[in-house]
Chains A and B, each alone.
Chain A
Amino acid sequence: MGALLRVTGLRKAYKTPAEDLVVLDGIDLELPGGSSLAVTGPSGSGKSTLLHILGTLDKPTSGSVELDGQNPFGLEDRELASFRNKRIGFVFQDHHLLPQLTALENVLVPALVGAGVTPEAESWGRTLLERVGLDQRFDHFPAELSGGERQRVAIARALLNRPRLLLCDEPTGNLDAHSARAVRDLFLELHREQQNVLVVVTHSEELANAFERRLALRGGSRGGV
């Protein structure tokens, strides 16, 4: 099976008055559809940077990223935004829900910024919220939800447009053990159902062990997959 996600010679460096600070140095990666990858490493090893670049939230200094055979960094801003909207889903450690919208409305935000919220999108959003166990929470605002419930809303939001690539940055980092396990089981289950590529950055060995593959980063370089 061809790689859905292909990363070649990825490098990210920041300019400082002294010398360039290299955060990622020559990362290569190929992941077929339906695969899952845990990215581990000590603090400052470039895990989040790698995730952000894969999600086109940041640009590499050199190297390439291809998703579905397309290099997103060659696209114009509008095309890149559309690419991100349709093909990539994010779950962050800090859920980043919009505080002024309800749980259902937060799930529907990717549709809002895309083609608009259609009845089908709304129906799918409700299904996703039911799927993550929040069928009683459609009209609740984030301030009325627990940490775990907010994270589940974020997961449902990330999956609304059935993304080809699902990226999670410390998704259970702010949760207690029980909630963390529940969230872990949830998105693994949804990943299997949707057969996307799942990449998770985590410090948790328990969570990392649940994934097919592991990429350990040390000082910006891969330690092994």
Chain B
Amino acid sequence: MRLTRGRLTIRTLQYHARAYALVMIVTAVAAAIITGALFVGDSVRGSLRARVEDRLGDIEFALTAPGYFREALAAELQASSPTTILRSVAILLVKGTVTHADTGARASEVNVLGVPRELWGFWADRFTFPAGVLDSLRERAVVINESLAEMVGAGGGTAILVHVSKDSDVPAEHALGRKAGTVRPIRLEVGGVLPDHGPGLFALESSQVPVRNVFVPLETLQRSLGREGQANSLLVSARASPQALQTLLGLTWKIEDAGLRFRVDDAIQRVVVESRALLLPAGVSTLVKMAASRRQMGASETLTYLANTIALGSREIPYSTVAACDQILDHSLQAGTIALNQWAADDLGARVGDTLRLKYFIADDDHRLREVEAAFLLSEIVPMEGDTADPGWTPEYPGISNARSLRAWDPPFPVDLDRIREKDEDYWRDHRTTPKAFLPIADGKRLWASRFGDLTSLRLRPLWKDGDPVSHRAKGLDDEIARAIKPESLGLTFRAVKADGLRAAQGGTDFGGLFVSFSFFLIASALILLSMVFRIACDRRARELGILKAVGIDRGALSRLLLVDGAIVSLTGSALGCWLALAYASLLLLGLRTIWRGAVNAPFLELHTTWGSWLLGCGITLVCALGAVGLVGRRVASSMPRSLLAGSIPEDNADGSSGARLQPPGRLSFAIAAASLLAGFALVVCGALGLIAAEAGFFGGGAAIALGALAFFRAWLRAPRGHVATRPRARSILLLGAMNARRSPSRSLLTTSLIASASFVIVAVAAIGRDPGSLEPRKSSGNGGFSLIGKSSIPITVSLSLPEGREALGLGPEASRVLERARVFPFRVRPGDDASCLNLYRPQSPRLLGAPRDFIERGGFAWASSLHLTNEERANPWILLDRRFSDGAIPAVGDASTVQWILHSGLSEDIVIRGDDGQEIRLRLVGLLSHSIFQGELVVSEARMLEAFPRISGNRWFLFEAAQDDAGVITRELESGLESHGFDVEATGALLAGYQAVENTYLSTFQLLGGLGLLLGTLGLAAILARNVHERRGELALLRAVGASRSTLARLVLGETALLLAAGLACGAGSAGLAVLPGALSRSGSVPWAALGATFTAIVTAGFLASIVAVRAALRAPLVPALRRD
């Protein structure tokens, strides 16, 4: 077979297999690290995706309504398109609290799910239910998941109390809404426990934190909530888009599903459309009117309210309904006037022209009811017949409409029973809720309209009388109205929960990239080691390469030949390394599940890989390896043939002249080194004095000092050698050893630089770890001066700051005492995804907090940046939340870290979310907080939140500004007193510590991997020493031949080791230590000196062990061949 370059390559690799095997192994290590890090990213994403599939089963779409719809809607929807909709199940899904009936152990933020048996079909093919669990779900027996069972200490047969809010349809914050006393405990028994996967993990939100679920038979929960036959969530598996499902829903649903009532009264020829929520939703009245006009029916707007008093002089009528309308007896009322029915007029002795007073309640911002008064001129007295005798003017109101008497009322507002007269009870008996007075609709809206709506009903009537009952004309009108209303306009919007979850599983943090950056020093060390071992392999071939040059191979061809050799070895190493990467990734994942658990809180992480990562990891390794090999090859190929034939590759000089050096360093080199040192010290001092940002001072200054120190070291390596022979013997041998570092300045500098940079980072990272747990509440800090955060599972619609609010919640005197002294700031919550670093999933729709006015005016917190324009805005950027943008964007404030790293956004940028009606809402970031307690959410003003999300009622998030002594009492009193609401109190320091734990875990990961990189760097040191010893084997043999002892030779080699290690550590750790000294002195208890000491002890030990190996190799080498060779 003819000799070709390929054959030469193969023969060379075979002959030098041992040397190249080392190159391959080191390349494999680099590939394992790089690819392994990428696999970590794959694993996090894959594990999160698997969790989405696990918790949702076959559920692809979900709809959670703000109100309730018919349970039968699910089956009707599926029947409307059975080939598209594979499964459709209606459930009840509410938030609640579970307590152990005996021990009182409590779990809040529990998903209380009222479910039919059909629900389990979504997991039929994916999950094997534990035997008997599903059968255990019966009337008063429930199934809970493992997380909940652990939290409350419950198992099969345990009695538990499930606290849920029995809300009425009327918004709690409406003046006529029920504000307190709605939370009911339901006593149930645990029938079985589902493990924390599959349906046990069911949740519609994306978070890796295990949810707490209690599955209740649907009928049981319906009964407990007074929602028989109703549901509030639909779960669907379908081959359709969300838009198609939405359209099907709009064609299928009935008017009742929209929360509307449709009453036909042939006696008075009226059709009444009203809302279960008391007030008609915005936009519905227009659609109803349009549908009515198509049937030749007119529509009258009505807003009926409850007047505490109708008074004329000293005569009063208590507790009467008053209807504002645009037509009474076919004519309109004038503004400012009032019409009384005959009964009321007689009771007051009123005559047309009299001025009547109405007193009624309104709800203010503190959730308090305030009685106000309005005066009207009596313009008309209407007979009580026909339309004006219709109790249907007033919408059905639970607790009032069906009461047998006035005294039997169960209203959500205070009633003075002493005011009720016998004649009032007679009126109630005969006429029920028939209005006693009528106002013009404009006046009614002015007095009683709210964000929830401005009409209580529409009264439809035929435009002309044709003798037909109105029921004929209105036949099918309810369905027509239902089809005209888009479900999404009322908040019934399908979400592609499976697709959203899988998208969120991409994660807010790229763990692959993160671990590649954590492994930077490990990778750098591996690549430097790779070039060293490749260089050693080339050294062994110096004479071969020399003869190739002598017979006429040019520099480029020789370089390519070496590159091909290196490429084949690197490719093999990369491929091997990618398999080793599985082990490295598994190790990292084990770390994430155990010692680094604080960073991810995801014990379910499993190894996943993708072809992309395989190829990328191999590719990056190959490119880096080829780069390292190519650089070495080029240098080798540039050497003069003569020096190669002599058996060595010259270090610094292309002309291969031995013993000669490049120009010694001039004054300029020393000047630059000195300038760098001075600049570094200056930056550190400026940072310590606060003249510049601390991080800039530290990192910039430290780096400059390290570079200056390395520059000095470089200059020393290249300086002319002094005379060592005249110095005392012991020092001379060590010095001689140290001087050997100058034989190959670039090699020594490379190793020293790697040790310096790795140790710099390790010290720096240890020093910048924060410890916010010790931070006292301070207004200008991340805690804003607040000591406690309170969170409630069930909204609280009374004020904790007011005695009547605390009384309504049943809080005791101790709670009242401490809360009276504290300042409490209640926030609205629009539920969404946790946007903090504690959530691995990428937030699709961040949680929103609505900040009350007094919080905005108070100010405080540490700010990273804001869009302030005025001095007032600069002093208190919170007031930017009131800014109005012409495009309708809502100003929002977020934490800088969250915005940058999780939401991938920035100041003045918009974050787009969907409103309850599916419309796009733009949140514009006007301020960024620094290391704040708001890392999990975005903050908007309460006013703007209620404009965009009017249905949000009550507060679920509270900040407490209290004395330290009161903090414990507040916590105890509220957690016990509001146990049924699932109220949890947490110290702001603990919250920040939780966030910081993530950052500190990342830092410790970086440190650990950086330390491993440093350790690998010491292997590089060992490689250098071994090579140096090999190069000097003749010299060492000569020393032995003339009588040098083993210990002398050992000191010779150790001298060089000590110098390189000491130089590296001094330049790196020393400069970092100097830079962080000011900060470290102020928090000496929190710098992990012990861990740092242990790390560097390990490094130094490894370095000296490497030296010992090299020394032993030198002493073992046969004397004569080494002498003869040279």
Contact = CB atoms under 8 A, between A and B. Distances in A.
B636 to A, nearest CB: 14
Interface string B468-511: 00000000000000000000000000000000000000000000
B642 A99 contact: no
Interface string B641-674: 1100100000000010101110010000000000
A115 B552 CA distance: 11
Contacts of A16: 659-660
A78 interface: yes
A27 interface: no
B842 interface: no
B660 A82 contact: no
Contact of B543 (A55, A78, A96, A105): A96
A85 B552 contact: yes
Nearest to A15: B660
28 contacts: A14-B660, A16-B659, A17-B664, A17-B720, A52-B641, A55-B550, A57-B549, A58-B641, A58-B642, A59-B640, A78-B554, A78-B555, A80-B554, A81-B553, A81-B557, A83-B552, A84-B550, A86-B552, A88-B552, A92-B547, A96-B645, A100-B11, A111-B3, A113-B548, A113-B551, A117-B4, A122-B2, A122-B3
Interface string B5-17: 1001001101110
Contact of A77 (B4, B554, B661): B554
Interface string A1-30: 000000000000011110000000000000
A69 interface: no
A112 interface: yes
A59 B655 contact: yes
A76 to B, nearest CB: 9
B552 A113 contact: yes
A110 interface: yes
B554 A81 contact: yes
Tier of interface size on chain B: 35 or more
Max chain A Cβ within 10 angstroms of own Cβ: one of B12, B546, B547: B547
A99 B543 CA distance: 11
A100 B554 contact: no
Interface string A84-120: 1110101010101111110001001111111011000
A100 B642 CA distance: 21
Max chain B Cβ within 10 angstroms of own Cβ: one of A59, A98, A113: A113
Given A17-B661, A78-B556, A98-B547, 14 more contacts: A14-B659, A57-B550, A57-B640, A57-B641, A77-B554, A82-B552, A83-B552, A84-B551, A96-B546, A96-B550, A100-B11, A108-B3, A112-B4, A117-B2
A57 B640 CA distance: 7
A52 B11 contact: no
Contacts of A84: 550-552
A77 B552 contact: no
Max chain A Cβ within 10 angstroms of own Cβ: one of B543, B551, B554, B557: B551
B312 to A, nearest CB: 115
Contact of A81 (B11, B549, B661): B549
Contacts of A58: 640-642, 655
B947 interface: no
Interface of A: 14-17, 52, 55, 57-59, 77-78, 80-86, 88, 90, 92, 94, 96-101, 105, 108-114, 116-117, 122, 157
Contacts of B659: 14, 16
B568 to A, nearest CB: 15
Nearest to B1: A105
Interface string B536-569: 0000000110111111111111000000000000
Contacts of A117: 2-4
Given A81-B549, A101-B11, A57 B645 contact: yes
Contacts of B546: 96
Nearest to B2: A117
A179 B881 CA distance: 99
Contact of B551 (A15, A85, A99): A85
A16 B50 CA distance: 70
Interface in B11-25: 11-12, 14-16
Given A57-B645, A113-B557, A81 B655 contact: no
Contacts of B553: 81, 85, 113
A92 B645 contact: yes
Nearest to A99: B15
A111 B3 CA distance: 9
Nearest to A112: B3
A14 B657 contact: yes
Interface of B: 2-5, 8, 11-12, 14-16, 543-544, 546-557, 640-642, 645, 655, 657, 659-661, 664, 720
Contacts of A110: 551-552
A96 to B, nearest CB: 4
Contacts of B548: 109, 113
7 shortest A-B CB distances, which residue pairs? A85-B552, A81-B554, A100-B15, A100-B11, A113-B553, A96-B547, A57-B641
Contacts of A59: 640, 655
Nearest to B637: A77
A196 B2 CA distance: 28
Nearest to B662: A15
B552 A52 contact: no
A111 B552 CA distance: 9
B660 A90 contact: no
B5 A109 contact: no
Contacts of A113: 548, 551-553, 557
A149 to B, nearest CB: 17
A173 to B, nearest CB: 14
A117 B8 CA distance: 12
A109 B664 CA distance: 41
Max chain A Cβ within 10 angstroms of own Cβ: one of B4, B8, B16, B664: B8
Max chain B Cβ within 10 angstroms of own Cβ: one of A86, A92, A96, A122: A96
A81 B11 CA distance: 24
A114 B640 CA distance: 19
A85 B557 CA distance: 13
Contacts of A17: 661, 664, 720
Given A14-B657, A81-B555, A96-B547, A112 B640 contact: no
B661 to A, nearest CB: 8
Contacts of B720: 17
B551 A100 contact: no
Contacts of B557: 81, 113
Nearest to B546: A96
Contacts of A83: 552
A52 B642 contact: yes
Contacts of B550: 55, 57, 84, 90, 96
A90 B554 contact: no
A101 B555 contact: no
Contacts of B11: 100-101
A102 to B, nearest CB: 9
A90 B661 CA distance: 29
A115 to B, nearest CB: 11
A212 to B, nearest CB: 25
B726 to A, nearest CB: 18
B8 A112 contact: yes
Contacts of B554: 77-78, 80-82
A99 B15 CA distance: 8
A116 B6 CA distance: 12
A52 B641 CA distance: 9
A86 to B, nearest CB: 7
B1008 to A, nearest CB: 43
Contacts of B555: 77-78, 81
Contacts of A99: 15, 544
Nearest to B644: A57
A88 B552 CA distance: 9
A39 B904 CA distance: 77
B12 A100 contact: yes
